Amino acid sequence: MIHNRIIRRKKTRNVVGSWPVLIMLSIVAVWFSGRAFDMYQRFAFNEQELERVKQEQAALLERTAYYKDMVGRLQSEEGIEEEIRNRLPYAKAGETVVLIVQDDTSTTTHDVNVLRESSWWRFWR
């Protein structure tokens, strides 16, 4: 009886310790580790995506609050008048509107000779 157990254990060790079984177990281990790495990458990507969505949500909530404030302001006469004055050149009777326009006619010109002397070609002369 004990002798049969010992013989069965030796056969089991011989089968489990054989090269084909070890190669198959190695292949399965590599496959499982590849799947685990894929799951880790998905998890990391989902965490980054979640953070991006949270930031986008915060920006949208901020924008929503701004627009709600603007709508609330435009529901009063003072808000409507202020918006008209900011966007359009209108005035009430007896008022004058002065528009100040900045003169952007000044342009910068460079002398070609100055640019030639300051270039790296000067080094080779």
| HSE-up of residue 60 (Cα within 13 Å, Cβ side) | 6
Q: 70-90: per-residue pLDDT in tens?
A: 999 999 988 888 888 788 777
- Which of 62, 60, 84, 80 lies closest to 72, judged by CA? 80
* CA separation, residue 118 to residues 96, 109, 113, 122, 125 (Å): 53, 16, 9, 7, 12
- Asked whether residue 86 is domain-assigned, the answer is yes
Count up the domains in the chain and report the number.
Answer: 1
How far the first Cα of the chain sits from its last, in Å, is: 103
Residue 43 lies in a domain: yes
CA dihedral 20, 23, 28, 32 (to 10 degrees): 170
Q: pTM for the whole thing?
A: 0.46
Is there a domain that residue 50 lies in? yes
Please tell me whether residue 25 adopts helix, strand or coil conformation. Answer: helix
- Give domain status of residue 39, yes or no: yes
Whether residue 21 is contained in a domain is answered as: yes
Residue 84 located in a structural domain: yes
- In terms of pLDDT, which residue wins out, 14 or 80? 80
Is 67's pLDDT higher than 60? Answer: yes
- Domain-located, residue 40: yes
- Its domain, for residue 22, covers 2-94
What is residue 46's predicted lDDT score, i.e. its pLDDT?
96
Residue 76, domain member (yes or no):
yes
* Amino acid making up residue 57: Q
Banded pLDDT at 109 (limits 50, 70, 90): low
